């Protein structure tokens, strides 16, 4: 059962059968484009990428067409990933600020959380093919569906984050309500609600990694061991960044430490992730995704440096570092999202790893 | 259940061999045999009767009038409005001991080269919705050259290569472990009593999660005009004609297939038939013949709709070693749980550590 090697290499067919490339495999245009991209990546060097060392793989495809479908999701989803993470980290800072007597940190956190959450929900519903049927998410609870699990996590988290924010905003109520029972109840409910929200918040930040990884999309799936850590790191950096941007330096010590820890975690684990992934890490370095990931690393590293060196002393320094961290987190989420989309559209990231897997299995004799 | 007699009755719900996926999904009373397709591509003649019959029976809307320039394949890929898709592959090799009858005819570059390049630009853009929009028509026009009186390739005196034309009618695989079904957050996708996987279009809210989850790129969200196109915004794919097989009819595509390339029946019986067919092909010199998806020890626990192919799966645009993504889900949840606990611990530490400020 030996198939004749009618595969088409990335460099093109060594033989002179002009028809063959287009007929059975990767069309010439795609080969040239990709090989060109590779050379460019190598030349842009100085940066020594281990991926450049991966030997060019031969693979066959059906007219170069994708094997997988990329997700139909648009910008809503990476925006949601960011907003959800921001909300989660903010809830943690809010509860901590509340318990340790840092009112400005508490306020920023609670309002950041409810803003992030509200925008997430809008993005999530907007992204549905049938937004009016959003409620169908609540007819089942399925542990095999990260989206179902996420819906229930948000359903649990939302009311408490909302209550904590409402307690923060009770000053806006008309005087009659503020001084009456509703105002008193809100004041009373603020702290426990905030603590419950903070308890659920890490799940909000962490599950989104599983949401992406539990797909056949090569780059997302292969990242599954590391992506949750990248995402909680990114969420912590973003929430810390927001607090540094919006609250006075005197109260943001914990936010700075959370931001710094998150940024370092994100940068370190992201690097480990790319090394562990092999060929499917390539999309993280190419095209739009590559630009976003480079921006993310630069902004996160700069934000972390600013947090460590400046943010404790100057408010503008803190604000600047905070803004860099927020933007870095945005870029991480959009970068990972775009890399996955790109990996699903290129049959190379399906065929090559699966062929390697088959070859390894054959070599192991099973 | 002949082939599966040695297995534990329940198996594992997320991966590996499973005696009866319908039973695993909760159909314990009145068990039905698992139904599926065996698509024998060695006898496919590329007539596309299956595509047409499927559209007619299931009232699947128009998927665009496109000219893709990829042999006779103008429907592009499986999708929300293409539930059967006939693929055409032209190869410079012989099919078994057959003579293509081309010896002595002029040789040279295929006239379709330039067309292939055009379709390439249309197909590798951001078009994940291939076959569901008319965007392909927006590809820029390409110069086909001046008409000439010389036959293509006549001038270079080259030898004719061998030639074979592979055709395959692709369809939803109705996996034993279906990732689309696993990840569906509304329960719109469900396992039928026949072990097949079907979308309830009145439940699906179009979240799109099943689309990237499918390891074969089958299911997609239907694009169309709101309120006009049937099931616009909803995930759609082959139902194995759930409405027909429940009444003892065979699915529309199998019914329409004039060469019995598409065979419908009990999966166990189809597997035996497929093995006999592949043995017969090997005996008659078609050594390329192999089965795809019949092995229940593969990454998706075997396919309910499996194939006899004449080349590597990727030549047909099929993944060589598909694995259901939810196989790794327990590991993913563990890692995410660890990360979440770490985040909570980190938050406690940052407030507990350091001086005030």
The 10s digit of each residue's pLDDT in B194-245 is: 999 999 999 999 999 999 999 999 999 999 888 889 999 999 999 999 999 9
* Residue B319 to residue A144, Cβ atoms within 8 A: no
User: What does the pLDDT read at residue A51?
Assistant: 46
User: What does the pLDDT read at residue B92?
Assistant: 80
> Rounded to whole angstroms, what are the CA distances from B39 to B21, B139, B192, B257?
21, 33, 21, 10
pTM as predicted: 0.86
B279-320: per-residue pLDDT in tens?
A: 999 998 899 999 999 999 999 999 999 999 999 999 999 999
User: What does the pLDDT read at residue A25?
Assistant: 37
- What value does the mean pLDDT of chain B take? 86
Average pLDDT over residues A304-319: 94
Q: Where are the domains of chain B?
A: 2-323, 326-357
A269-307: per-residue pLDDT in tens?
A: 999 999 999 999 999 999 999 999 999 999 999 999 999
> Rounded to whole angstroms, what are the CA distances from B181 to A65, A345, B189, B191, B322?
25, 22, 5, 8, 16
CATH architecture, domain defined by A76-347: Up-down Bundle (1.20)
* Residue A216 to residue B329, Cβ atoms within 8 A: no
Q: Residue B162: pLDDT above 90?
A: no
Average pLDDT over residues B150-176: 78
How far is residue B253's CA from residue B44's CA, in Å, rounded to a whole number?
13
What is the pLDDT confidence band of residue A14, given thresholds at 50, 70 and 90? very low
User: What does the pLDDT read at residue A91?
Assistant: 98
Min Cα separation A264/chain B (Å)? 12
User: Are residues B34 and B267 in contact, defined by beta-carbon separation less than 8 angstroms?
Assistant: yes
The residue of chain B nearest to residue A224, with distances taken between CA atoms, is B332
* Residue A96 to residue B110, Cβ atoms within 8 A: no
User: What does the pLDDT read at residue B277?
Assistant: 97
Among A119-133, A250-264, B167-181, which stretch is predicted with the lowest mean pLDDT?
A119-133
User: What does the pLDDT read at residue A10?
Assistant: 37
CATH architecture, domain defined by B2-323: 2-Layer Sandwich (3.30)
Q: Residue B129: pLDDT above 50?
A: no
Does B74 reach chain A within 8 Å, measured CB to CB? no
Average pLDDT over residues B246-275: 97
**What one-character DSSP code corresponds to residue B353?**
S
Which parts of chain A fold into alpha helices (H)?
18-24, 28-43, 50-53, 76-99, 103-126, 146-168, 175-179, 181-213, 218-222, 227-246, 253-277, 287-309, 315-345, 348-364
Rg (alpha carbons) of chain B, rounded to whole number? 24
Average pLDDT over residues B86-98: 84
Q: Residue B79: pLDDT above 80?
A: yes
Average pLDDT over residues B180-193: 96
- What value does the mean pLDDT of chain A take? 86
Average pLDDT over residues B111-122: 53
Which of A97, A102, A145 has the most B C-beta neighbours within 10 Å, making it the best mutation to test the interface with B? A145
What is the pLDDT confidence band of residue A33, given thresholds at 50, 70 and 90? very low
For B10-83, strand residue ranges (E) read 35-40
A142-192: per-residue pLDDT in tens?
A: 999 999 999 999 999 999 999 999 999 988 888 888 888 888 999 999 999
Percent residues over pLDDT 70 in chain B: 79
Q: Residue B121: pLDDT above 70?
A: no
User: Are residues B274 and B40 in contact, defined by beta-carbon separation less than 8 angstroms?
Assistant: yes
Q: Residue B52: pLDDT above 70?
A: yes
Among A100-109, A262-271, A316-325, B98-107, which stretch is predicted with the lowest mean pLDDT?
B98-107
Q: Phi/psi of residue B94, each to 5°?
A: -90, 155
- Residue with the bigger pLDDT between B153 and B251: it is B251
The residue of chain B nearest to residue A240, with distances taken between CA atoms, is B347
Contacts with A, B 90-149, CB within 8 Å: 90-93, 109-110, 112-113, 116-117, 119-121, 123-124, 128-130
User: What does the pLDDT read at residue B158?
Assistant: 59
How far is residue A37's CA from residue A219's CA, in Å, rounded to a whole number?
18
ipTM of the complex: 0.86
User: Are residues A95 and A198 in contact, defined by beta-carbon separation less than 8 angstroms?
Assistant: yes
Average pLDDT over residues A189-210: 97
A317-349: per-residue pLDDT in tens?
A: 999 999 999 999 999 999 999 999 999 999 999
What is the pLDDT confidence band of residue A7, given thresholds at 50, 70 and 90? very low
Q: Residue B118: pLDDT above 70?
A: no
User: What does the pLDDT read at residue B293?
Assistant: 96
Average pLDDT over residues B71-75: 92
A203: left (phi over 0), alpha (psi -120 to 50) or beta: alpha
């Amino acid at each position: 059962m030996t198939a004749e090697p009618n595969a088409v290499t990335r460099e093109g067919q060594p033989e002179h059968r002009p028809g063959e490339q287009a007929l059975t495999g990767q069309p010439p245009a795609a080969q040239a484009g990709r090989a060109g991209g590779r050379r460019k990546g190598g030349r842009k060097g100085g940066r020594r990428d281990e991926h450049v060392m991966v030997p060019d793989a031969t693979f066959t495809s059906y007219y170069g067409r994708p094997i997988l479908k990329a997700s139909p999701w648009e910008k809503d989803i990476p925006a949601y990933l960011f907003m959800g993470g921001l909300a989660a980290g903010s809830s943690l800072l809010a509860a901590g600020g509340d318990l340790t007597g840092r009112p400005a940190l508490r306020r920023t956190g609670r309002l950041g959380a409810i803003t992030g959450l509200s925008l997430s929900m809008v993005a999530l519903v907007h992204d549905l093919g049938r937004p009016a049927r959003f409620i169908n998410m609540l007819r089942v609870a399925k542990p095999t569906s990260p989206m179902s699990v996420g819906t229930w996590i948000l359903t649990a988290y939302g009311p408490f984050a909302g209550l904590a924010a409402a307690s923060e905003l009770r000053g806006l109520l008309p005087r009659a309500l503020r001084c009456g029972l509703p105002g008193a109840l809100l004041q009373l409910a603020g702290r426990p609600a905030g603590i419950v929200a903070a308890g659920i918040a890490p799940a909000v930040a962490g599950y989104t990694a599983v949401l992406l990884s539990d797909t056949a999309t090569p780059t997302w799936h292969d990242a599954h061991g590391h992506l949750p850590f990248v995402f909680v790191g990114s969420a912590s950096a973003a929430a810390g960044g927001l607090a540094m941007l919006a609250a006075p330096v005197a109260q943001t010590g914990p936010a700075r430490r959370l931001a710094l820890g998150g940024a370092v975690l994100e940068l370190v684990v992201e690097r480990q992730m790319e090394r562990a992934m092999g060929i499917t890490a390539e999309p993280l370095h190419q095209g739009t995704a590559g630009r976003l990931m480079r921006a993310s690393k630069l902004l996160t590293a700069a934000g972390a440096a600013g947090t460590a060196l400046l943010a404790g002393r100057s408010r503008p320094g803190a604000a600047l570092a905070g803004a860099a961290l927020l933007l870095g987190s945005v870029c991480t989420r959009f970068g990972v999202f775009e890399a996955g989309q790109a990996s699903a559209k290129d049959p190379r990231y399906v065929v090559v790893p699966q062929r390697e897997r088959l070859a390894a299995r054959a070599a192991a004799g099973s | 259940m002949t082939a599966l007699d040695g297995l534990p009755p329940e198996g594992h719900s997320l991966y590996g061999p499973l005696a009866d996926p319908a039973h695993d999904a909760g159909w314990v009373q009145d068990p039905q045999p698992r139904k599926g397709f065996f698509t024998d591509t060695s006898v496919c003649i590329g007539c596309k009767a299956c595509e047409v019959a499927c559209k007619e029976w299931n009232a699947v809307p128009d998927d665009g009038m496109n000219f893709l320039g990829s042999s006779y394949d103008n429907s592009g890929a499986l999708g929300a409005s293409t539930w059967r898709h006939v693929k055409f592959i032209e190869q410079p090799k012989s099919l078994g001991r057959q003579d293509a009858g081309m010896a002595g005819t002029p040789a040279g570059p295929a006239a379709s080269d330039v067309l292939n390049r055009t379709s390439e630009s249309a197909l590798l853009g951001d078009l994940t919705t291939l076959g569901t929009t008319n965007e392909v028509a927006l590809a820029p026009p390409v110069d086909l050259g001046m008409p000439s009186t010389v036959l293509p390739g006549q001038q270079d005196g080259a030898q004719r290569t061998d030639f074979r034309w592979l055709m395959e009618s692709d369809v939803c695989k109705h996996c034993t472990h279906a990732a689309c079904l696993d990840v569906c957050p509304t329960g719109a996708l469900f396992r039928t009593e026949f072990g097949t996987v079907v979308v309830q279009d009145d439940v699906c809210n179009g979240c799109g999660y099943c689309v990237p989850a499918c390891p074969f790129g089958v299911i997609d969200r239907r694009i169309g005009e709101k309120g006009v196109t049937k099931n616009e915004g909803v995930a759609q794919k082959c139902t194995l004609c759930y409405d027909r097989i429940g009444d003892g009819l065979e699915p529309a595509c199998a019914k329409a297939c004039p060469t019995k390339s598409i065979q419908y029946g009990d999966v166990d019986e189809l597997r035996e038939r497929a093995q006999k067919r592949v043995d017969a092909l090997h005996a008659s010199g078609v050594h390329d013949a192999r089965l795809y998806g019949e092995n229940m020890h593969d990454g998706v626990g075997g396919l309910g709709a499996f194939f006899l192919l004449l080349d590597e799966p990727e030549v047909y645009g099929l993944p060589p070693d598909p694995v259901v993504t939810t196989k790794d889900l327990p590991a993913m949840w563990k890692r995410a749980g660890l990360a979440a606990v770490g985040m909570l611990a980190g938050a406690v530490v940052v407030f507990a550590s350091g001086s005030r400020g």
